Amino acid sequence: MVSNFRFASVPNIIFGAGKFSELYDIIANFGKNVLYVIGGSSLNASGKWDEITSEMLRRSINFYSISIAGEPTPSLIDKAVKKFRQKNLGLIIGIGGGSVIDAGKAISAMILKSDSIKEYLEGVGDKIHNGEKIPYIAIPTTSGTGSEATKNAVITEVGPEGFKKSLRHDNLVPNYAIVDPKLVVSCPPSITAACGMDAFTQLLEAYVSPHSNPVTDTLAYSGIKHVKENIISVYGHKSSDFNARSAMAYGSLISGIVLANAGLGIVHGLASSIGGLFNIPHGTVCGTLLAESTKMNVKRLEQADRDGERGLMKYAIVGALIAGKGYEVNLDVSYYCSVLVETLEMWTEQLNLDTLGKYGIIPKDIEKIVKKTQLKNNPVNLNPEDIKEIVVNRI
């Protein structure tokens, strides 16, 4: 019997090498005033911005741009909205990494509002967004967050009382997501590594989530297969290989779809609390904590007797996949859970992922991190001491 489930909407997805060029014909459906939300420098360095500018002029389209460096803050979004509110925009286009995609999503959602985005952030404000927005196209240039397929924009304010919270509504899913692996080839190795581990984290956490369903399981398994086969090689000798880059872009896209439907666990709970307290890239937090978090989850699931069987089996299935095995009727659960944990530990080393200590996190910070951390969709309950151990082992 298939259990009941719901599945959130996804964008109109256009995937493939060279598909970026289809953007210009899509723009024609949304009027003559366009805002581009772009990254700090990569688009200019690649020459792609010159192409965009030339094409906009050729087609007589009025366009504006705003550059986003770092993760979007409430003040950045509020200032951008104020600046462009009177431009009669028909379309917003975000081209960049997850932070850029989220910033564009937030601007498209807030430009029709007169108050601060803080009023609508989960756990920060007390207002609920009604979903009205300017049409939005998301075009990722990294393979990590899957934000091009989600209904939330993550906004960060770093500090002692900082936060990393979402603006969320079903209607905030981008109208189009154009995923072109050619745009990811120039992504630096360190960002490629962190983003790749972020994507794998989202796929794994969604797969083992108590709220997964047959659709998310099938998609997550497919994404995991593509990422596990390419995450190391695309960081190194296959950094310019379109097949490897396509596989990682696919995995990232799928990770966004499944996280929107199944939710995420302890790694992203920690990424939210740590990201609000310290200026540390989201992908780095996820990547550096994944192995330790998975090890702790497996340990607690093994102690949960029959209640932990489902979660352990899910982890074992992923371990078997990583080992090159298909689904087996009599799967050696303990063995393949170990394979998964050991592989994640090996990836953490091979990808040279930074420890938390590199960003100023010290043992005395752990209490406040744990206090702010939530366990929304983790496959097993973890106590504060468990969470402390995860963090301590990556300082």
Q: Are residues 224 and 323 in the same domain?
A: yes
Per-residue tokens: 106:
């937030």
3-state secondary structure 282-343: HHHHHHHHHHHHHHHHHHHHHHCHHHHHHHHHHHHHHHHHHCCCCCCCCCCHHHHHHHHHHH
Q: How many domains would you assign to the chain?
A: 2
Contacts for 338 with CB less than 8 Å, ≥ 6 apart? 319
Q: Are residues 250 and 177 in the same domain?
A: no
Using CA atoms, how far apart are residues 358 and 337, in angstroms rounded to an integer? 29
**361-388 residue pLDDT tens:** 999 999 999 999 999 899 999 999 999 9
Whether residue 4 is contained in a domain is answered as no
Domain C-terminal end among 120, 153, 183: 183
Whether residue 157 is contained in a domain is answered as yes
Whether residue 317 is contained in a domain is answered as yes
Contacts for 270 with CB less than 8 Å, ≥ 6 apart? 285, 289, 293, 369, 373, 387, 390, 391
The domain that contains 78 carries what CATH number? 3.40.50.1970
Q: What is the pLDDT of residue 1?
A: 67
Using CA atoms, how far apart are residues 202 and 288, in angstroms rounded to an integer? 14
* 171 to 106, 108, 168: CA distances (angstroms): 12, 11, 9
Using CA atoms, how far apart are residues 388 and 267, in angstroms rounded to an integer? 12
Q: Are residues 62 and 148 in the same domain?
A: yes
Q: Are residues 178 and 194 in the same domain?
A: no
Tallying the residues shown for the chain, one arrives at 395
167: β partners: 153
Q: Are residues 325 and 373 in the same domain?
A: yes
**325-349 residue pLDDT tens:** 877 768 899 999 999 999 999 999 9
Whether residue 154 contacts residue 115, with contact meaning beta carbons closer than 8 Å, is answered with no
Pairing of strands 62-67, 33-38: parallel
Q: Are residues 147 and 222 in the same domain?
A: no
Q: Are residues 270 and 365 in the same domain?
A: yes
Domain C-terminal end among 121, 152, 183: 183
Residue with tokens 């592989």: 343
Residues of the chain with pLDDT under 70: 1, 329
Q: Are residues 228 and 307 in the same domain?
A: yes
Q: What is the pLDDT of residue 150?
A: 96
Whether residue 1 is contained in a domain is answered as no
Q: Are residues 25 and 107 in the same domain?
A: yes
The domain that contains 319 carries what CATH number? 1.20.1090.10
Domain that holds residue 170: 12-183
Using CA atoms, how far apart are residues 395 and 390, in angstroms rounded to an integer? 9
Q: What is the pLDDT of residue 46?
A: 73
Whether residue 25 is contained in a domain is answered as yes
Using CA atoms, how far apart are residues 192 and 181, in angstroms rounded to an integer? 12
Residue with tokens 């069987």: 309
Which of 150, 145, 142 is CA-nearest to residue 285?
145
Domain C-terminal end among 150, 183, 216: 183
Whether residue 322 is contained in a domain is answered as yes
